[in-house]
Structure formats: C-alpha cells, structure tokens
C-alpha cells in the first residue's frame, strides 16, 4: 500500500464544524483527511469550527486510523489565519499527528510564514490562482510536502467558465503536476463537484493519472474508493512492470510486442516501488 503522505491517492475534505462526519474518517479511510476551516465554514462560525476540531481530535480516535489528518486553515493574510495556525500548532504539539493544508498559496513567502510556526508538520499547499500556478515551481521548491490543484478557484480567478471537458484548466493542471515532478513533491488533482456522478469522477481521475497526478481531491466519502481504484496500479499494470524488469535483466528489448528502453524501465520500477509504499 502506498504511503499516505508520500503518495496519497485520495484527499477528502470534510467541514471542520461537523464532528460527526470527522468521526467517520477511520471508517472511510482516505489517505489524507482534511478538516476544512476555509470554504466549508461561514465567517461567523470560524471560532466555533476551531473548537470543534479541537474536540474532535481530543480522544485520539480520528487520529488512530491509517489516514493522515490535516487541517485546512484560511489563507495567509486572512483575519482567521493566525488563529487557525495556532490551533494546528497546538494539535501537532499534543498529538504529533496533525498537519496543515494552506489554500491559495501564491509564493514561497507563504510557505515560509507557515514553516516559521510549523517547521516539521506535514504541509500541503493549494495552487488555485493564476499567480499560484505561475509560481508553482518556486512554491514547491520552498518546502511543502505536496500540493493540490484547485481548478474551481483558479478559473474563477481568471474570470473563465468551467466546462465538463476541462479544456479551460488543462494548461494550469499540467503546469502544477510538472512543477511537482521537477521538485520531487506530490500533486493531487482537481475536484469533481458532481459528487454523485461516479463515472465522471473516474474518467477525470484517469485523465489526471495520465497527466502524472498521484491522487485526487474528494468532496464526498463515496469518491474515496473511486480515487483509490484509479490511482492504484492494476494487476495487469503490475505484471507488465515486472515483465519489463525481467526483460531488462535478460537483455531483451521487446515486451508484449513493444520496444522497451531506459525510460520504460524507470517507469516500471517507479510503479512497483510506489505500489509497495
């Protein structure tokens, strides 16, 4: 099984102010479980949501599963950011098992601001604006563990329109995963807001995997297993990878009728290594 933090296949967002939902995290089993203080919480409910997170994690049940638990704070510079970050520092200090998600990051200075307070906590940044996408490489080189591509906020920032085909975000979607690859960070793909359209989610997840993403944002628990299916190598893929390695060891340059060279060998090794976690 892949490591939940180094190769997360799913990143499930849950409203921070609804502890009954958060209590189901061990049962749902996402690789990353995000208690959301940003989009999912109204302005007047921010303080109450912070207390709900504190209460939810106090008994250790949510932290006792296989999921890495993170808190999405409000963006750097917002009126709630400092209090949100202080909460994560408190939780990380007591449990050692809580990380932070920072939305709408637009430069390395945002990462530095978080790292000054949380030098060792797991950190995932949201690249979801025009500037964030343009600065993706420098942001990811500055020290987060990984990122997610926020397509909805990105296209809103540009003043564009979302389409089912997604052509309007393909450039940015590609730039984010490219920046992640060259800096050695993980990248989690965009959300599918049609939460009951399993076919659409799976098709979009497969496109994301084709681009190089290793996991997907989930907005509903039902999407978690779909993400795991899409981003876990199939038995056929594992078998093909093993055959490529065996062929290379024997000096054979053709597998299943296809030429095999160094890049295919590296891909096979990476697939099997990631699959084993």
For 71-102, the pLDDT digits (tens) are 999 999 999 999 999 999 999 877 667 899 99
pTM for this model (two decimals): 0.89
pLDDT score of 236: 84
Q: Could you tell me the pLDDT band of residue 233, with boundaries at 50, 70 and 90?
A: confident
Task: Please state the φ and ψ torsions of residue 188, each to the nearest 5 degrees.
Answer: -105, 135
Say how far apart CA 170 and CA 33 lie, in whole Å.
26
Q: What tens digit of pLDDT does each residue of 103-128 get?
A: 999 999 999 999 999 999 999 999 99
Report the CATH architecture of 10-232.
Alpha-Beta Barrel (3.20)
pLDDT over 90, % of the chain: 70
The predicted model gives 140-156 an average pLDDT of 98
Residue 217, H or E segment:
strand 215-218
- Is there a contact between 14 and 35 (Cβ–Cβ < 8 Å)? yes
Q: Could you tell me the pLDDT band of residue 238, with boundaries at 50, 70 and 90?
A: confident
In the chain, domain spans: 10-232, 236-276
CA 208-211-215 angle, to 5 degrees, is: 40
Q: Which residue is it, tokens 């979009």?
A: 204
* SS3 state at 42: coil
Least confident of 129-133, 154-158, 252-256: 252-256
Query: Considering all CA atoms of the chain, what is the largest pairwise distance in Å, rounded to the nearest integer?
Result: 66
CA 9 from centre of chain: 7
pLDDT score of 2: 42
């Amino acid at each position: 099984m892949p490591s939940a933090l180094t190769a997360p296949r799913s990143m499930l967002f849950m409203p921070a102010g609804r502890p009954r939902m958060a209590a189901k995290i061990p049962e749902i089993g996402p690789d990353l479980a995000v208690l959301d203080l940003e989009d999912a919480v109204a302005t007047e409910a921010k303080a109450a949501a912070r207390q709900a997170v504190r209460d939810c994690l106090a008994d250790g049940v949510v932290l006792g599963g296989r999921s890495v638990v993170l808190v999405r704070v409000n963006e750097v510079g917002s009126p709630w950011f400092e209090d949100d970050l202080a909460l994560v520092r408190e939780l990380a200090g007591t449990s050692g098992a809580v990380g932070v998600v920072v939305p709408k990051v637009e430069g390395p200075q945002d990462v530095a601001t978080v790292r000054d307070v949380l030098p060792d906590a797991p950190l995932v940044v949201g690249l979801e604006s025009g500037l964030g996408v343009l600065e993706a490489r420098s942001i990811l080189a500055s020290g987060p563990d990984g990122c997610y591509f926020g397509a909805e906020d990105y296209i809103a920032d540009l003043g564009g329109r979302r389409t089912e085909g997604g052509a309007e975000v393909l450039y940015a979607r590609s730039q984010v995963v490219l920046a992640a690859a060259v800096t050695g960070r993980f990248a989690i793909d965009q959300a599918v807001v049609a939460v009951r359209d399993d076919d659409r989610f799976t098709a979009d997840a497969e496109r994301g995997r084709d681009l190089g993403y290793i996991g997907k944002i989930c907005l509903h628990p039902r999407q978690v297993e779909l993400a795991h299916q899409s981003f876990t190598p199939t038995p056929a893929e594992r078998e093909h990878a093993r055959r490529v390695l065996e062929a290379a060891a024997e000096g054979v340059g053709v597998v299943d009728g296809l030429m095999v060279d160094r890049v295919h060998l590296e891909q096979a090794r990476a697939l099997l290594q990631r699959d084993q976690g």
